[in-house]
Structure 1
Amino acid sequence: MKNILCTTIGVTGSLTASLFGGWDTSIATLILFMAIDFFSGLAVAGVFHSSTKTETGALESKAGWKGLCRKSMTLFFVLIAHRLDLSIGTTYIRDTVVIGFMANELISIVENAGLMGIPLPAVLTKAIDILNQKSVPMK
């Protein structure tokens, strides 16, 4: 039974990794940033009650599900970018998409740190404000 379980997990993991262009440092970093962002968001809402995603600032399952859906969509974009690379014989579209989403996750992590009361350098908060003003508002 143990061998069947290990084989199933290994085959599933290999197929999933190949769909995203392989398991490399960039995809591992993106997933790490996504996990840190998600759990820091949980801490902001659950411990500090200062979430901007809910009216009360506290944990709300609907907001959590929205976050997970957004993260899933991020991974779908990586998958699409990899398929585009394969279609036109390039290797840079996936990398560009992954780097863009890593930057977005990093900004969100920094925002969560600020909501937790961690002092942030003024230049960093100003840069985040500028990026937020230029971005498309999320509902």
Structure 2
Amino acid sequence: MEASKLVPLLVSAAIGDKRTETLIGSAVSLIGIIATQFLGGWDIALKVMVYLMVADYISGLLGAIKTKTVNSEIMFWGGIRKAIVLGVIALSVLLDEFVGGQAPVFRTLVLYFYAGREGLSVVENLGVLGVPLPRIITQFLEQLKDKGEGK
């Protein structure tokens, strides 16, 4: 393929052929950048937290489907609770900045606490679905919850 044809192909693949694709992609990127900044950076702790939130939501939905108890209002408020947790994480980042410490103490505590809760919720949902889990995973999640509660 000629270089003159390759460059436009790469550009259109990266930003889209249409103006709408470019605008939507840019908006999503901007929202992601701002959210990551407010949440203290996209590190492994935040990744684990977000993945656990998604796994909890999906496993909860599947459990509700299995038990035939799907309720859109419960799902809505579950999503709102998860958004509030992200808000608490953002607040903990501000608290870390406020006290001027070099280490993100409040953020780490908040992430451990909520990761433990989300993880235990995933384990409960998997139990409803009949999925067995190794004891070591449940012990690890309980330890995370205990760290978050200051035990």
SS state of the match for residue 70, structure 2? coil
Whose radius of gyration is greater, 1 or 2? Answer: 2
- What do the CA deviations read for 1:85-109 (whole angstroms, capped 9, x no partner)? 0101122110110111001011001
Q: Does 1:59 align with 2:78?
A: no
2:107 corresponds, among 94, 105, 123, to 94
Alignment of 1:46-85 (within 5 A): 46=65, 48-49=66-67, 58-85=69-96
Q: Aligned residue for 2:34?
A: 15
AA aligned to 1:103 is G
1:112 corresponds, among 119, 125, 128, to 125
Quote the Cα distance in structure 2 between the aligned partners of 1:122 and 1:5: 44
Which structure shows the higher helix fraction? 2
Q: Aligned residue for 2:4?
A: none
- So what's the TM-score if we normalise by structure 1? 0.75
Q: Does 1:24 align with 2:35?
A: no
Distance 1:3 1:58, change over 3 A: closer
Quote the Cα distance in structure 1 between the aligned partners of 2:23 and 2:74: 37
Q: By how many angstroms is 1:5 displaced?
A: 4.0
Gaps of 5+ in 2: 1-18
State the identity as a percent: 26
